[in-house]
Structure 1
């Protein structure tokens, strides 16, 4: 698996400074989404499904250049969101402030660094960490306006990666490579310890940032199997931040 870490690191250095353009097939699938709150972010065509990274970007968990100033994440909603959708987004991001010193709040006039939330039919995705200036975060109006997905994407914007990309994940889960859609294996690559820190916390099966067990499956069978039998059938189903998510967020910013 070391080779996979090296390959992924090379890919990061070489590019991914822009959002990947989706194929017509991907766009059609997203635009006709009928799976309710099933993880649309996994299907959104970006790095690991929903992340956009700067070239050579280190994890916001380590590199303080990507931390939000004064622990505040200003955001602005595209006018396309209706009143109900806007209310759901405003309510969801309150969870972050309720459990940490990080405030996700509407942008004030003149603020230059902020998240601009769009609702295009391109899935659920976000840049990782604060980039400076306006940065987009997309919540497709049909498929992404769910509490846990909104929180998940804003945690990317704050600086978090997915739990199963941790350098130590193979001690806790088994990736079933033969069950992964051909060409999608890179979504299960790991980041090295120079990208990821666990802040001294154990692997978090219950993280709101964890893939579900059939992510990118080619046959309906699991692509991720937890070593802890109690979590079989429960990965990636968190509706709120886990206790460990909260500890990490507070260690990162507070």
Structure 2
């Protein structure tokens, strides 16, 4: 059975052809950096003259050189040609470009480490060569002896030491510097609210800055950066000009760091999912693609997520921005890396696992569908994968336009679906209109009869082309595990002439647009 031809204007002028197709039998299992942060006019530039930070810079330099040397010595896969994309250059500078003047003080482009954390990473580099590469998720550093840990490895993404975790028994205090623009303040509050509404964590804005209590201090700095986990006292999250563009994606990424998250592509199992193309990475940035030691971050058995808000973009630190620096092993997910719309379903789930939020609904009888789970804030309602909505995740995700999003049945013959998403949005960002606060989102559920699958072909696509499809995207989910972020397209050659086939008889399609 065939189905659709979708034309997505704004997000996409996408033509998608869909049909239902006979199903094959398939199964799948399923020490704080103590520079002064008490004033309202902080400048990251002051860090250049601070003695502790000068020492940090030297240690970071050594760490990055070690990482780069390790990357160059690693076995190199026979590389195929890089894929060219006719990128439409945005007025928005990427975070790594915004942070470039202060790169010597930051790790992996936007992480402000403590001296202790740098020392730990340097020590891990020394120890790692003496360990084998057998990974295990069955043990935790909080409950396992040092002797046992010498023999067992743990795949991690979240900082595991409980000392770096925020308390769930009281709100996380945060302070917003008065010199932040209204747009930045709106983005900060929205990002905070997102994490608060989707996890058991609570946040409380305070009106005075107190260094004696643990809090997140949002500053009007000169970069987009954050510390990793709760480091004690007042810790800065910098929201420079440019960090507030495209909704709250960048700020929610930085809050993710503050909650304890490293970058997704730093997972110890990274090489099974992405290939780092050193040939297109700036020579002084090779060390920013280091993997974490397997016993330093925890993944809670959550699969690698190309669509994580914490993932680098495909062309991060690339010599040529028109070519990739990261290649997805599953090429259909190449454009899924680097999305900044919002934290993914698995990002949220991992925070809930890390902070033991799911225990709050252990007695709930809520029957969430399609991979959802009870919301620890409201146990009778579910947190749903992208594309699904309703209290129990049984419905298509709520759409934001009367003319988009619906249930469609695939037939044996190809059908045409044309849709325009974001007609009332500006055509593209300009100096006078640099950012659209919230994207327009539309969601379709395409179904085939039982024992059939759905086929979709995107035959036309007029979205703006950029790596990560950050301005607009069409997301297609073929996996029966709907928790994963789907395959995203926005450029004309993204998965061109590829027929998407669902594993089951339902294929969710989601379009999002920041611009027309």
Asked whether the equivalents of residues 226 and 258 of structure 2 are also in contact (C-alpha less than 8 Å), the reply is yes
Residue in 2 that maps onto 1:125:
225
Return the match for 1:50 from 82, 86, 110.
110
Asked whether the equivalents of residues 158 and 299 of structure 2 are also in contact (C-alpha less than 8 Å), the reply is no
Asked whether the equivalents of residues 215 and 234 of structure 2 are also in contact (C-alpha less than 8 Å), the reply is yes
Q: How far, CA to CA, are the matches of 1:18 and 1:107 in structure 2?
A: 32
Q: How far, CA to CA, are the matches of 1:206 and 1:38 in structure 2?
A: 20
| Cα distance, 1:52 vs structure 2 | 1.3
Q: Which of 1 and 2 has greater Rg?
A: 2
Equivalent residues, number: 226
| Cα distance, 1:41 vs structure 2 | 4.7
Structure 1 41/76 Cα, relative in aligned 2: closer, same or farther at 3 Å?
farther
Structure 1 149/191 Cα, relative in aligned 2: closer, same or farther at 3 Å?
same
Structure 1 100/116 Cα, relative in aligned 2: closer, same or farther at 3 Å?
same
Q: How far, CA to CA, are the matches of 1:139 and 1:51 in structure 2?
A: 13
Return the match for 2:173 from 62, 74, 79.
74
Asked whether the equivalents of residues 73 and 158 of structure 1 are also in contact (C-alpha less than 8 Å), the reply is no
5 Å matches for 1:131-210?
131-140=231-240, 142-146=241-245, 147-210=248-311
Structure 1 107/19 Cα, relative in aligned 2: closer, same or farther at 3 Å?
farther
| Cα distance, 1:198 vs structure 2 | 1.0
Measured against aligned partners, the alpha-carbon deviations of 1:10-59 in whole angstroms (never above 9, x if no partner) come to xxxxx9798759xxxxxxxxxxxx95445315652210000011234377
Residue in 2 that maps onto 1:106:
205
Structure 1 18/88 Cα, relative in aligned 2: closer, same or farther at 3 Å?
farther
Asked whether the equivalents of residues 60 and 159 of structure 1 are also in contact (C-alpha less than 8 Å), the reply is yes
RCO higher in 1 or 2 (8 Å CA, sep ≥ 6)? 2
Asked whether the equivalents of residues 213 and 233 of structure 1 are also in contact (C-alpha less than 8 Å), the reply is yes
Asked whether the equivalents of residues 60 and 67 of structure 1 are also in contact (C-alpha less than 8 Å), the reply is no
TM-score by length of 2: 0.41
Measured against aligned partners, the alpha-carbon deviations of 1:205-241 in whole angstroms (never above 9, x if no partner) come to 0100000000000122211001112211231014111
Q: How far, CA to CA, are the matches of 2:243 and 2:216 in structure 1?
A: 16
Residue in 1 that maps onto 2:162:
64
Residue in 2 that maps onto 1:245:
347
Alignment of 1:229 with 2:284, yes or no, is: no
Q: Secondary structure at the match of 2:232?
A: coil
Q: Secondary structure at the match of 1:225?
A: strand
Structure 1 36/73 Cα, relative in aligned 2: closer, same or farther at 3 Å?
farther
Asked whether the equivalents of residues 43 and 49 of structure 1 are also in contact (C-alpha less than 8 Å), the reply is no
RMSD over aligned Cα atoms: 2.5
| Cα distance, 1:131 vs structure 2 | 1.2
Asked whether the equivalents of residues 307 and 338 of structure 2 are also in contact (C-alpha less than 8 Å), the reply is yes
Residue in 2 that maps onto 1:116:
217
Q: How far, CA to CA, are the matches of 2:163 and 2:249 in structure 1?
A: 26
More divergent stretch after superposition (36-45 vs 173-182) = 36-45
Measured against aligned partners, the alpha-carbon deviations of 1:59-94 in whole angstroms (never above 9, x if no partner) come to 753111001123632111111113332122112211
Asked whether the equivalents of residues 16 and 53 of structure 1 are also in contact (C-alpha less than 8 Å), the reply is no
Return the match for 1:219 from 305, 315, 320.
320
| Cα distance, 1:192 vs structure 2 | 1.2
Asked whether the equivalents of residues 183 and 244 of structure 2 are also in contact (C-alpha less than 8 Å), the reply is no
Q: How far, CA to CA, are the matches of 2:263 and 2:95 in structure 1?
A: 15
Measured against aligned partners, the alpha-carbon deviations of 1:85-107 in whole angstroms (never above 9, x if no partner) come to 21221122111011111123313
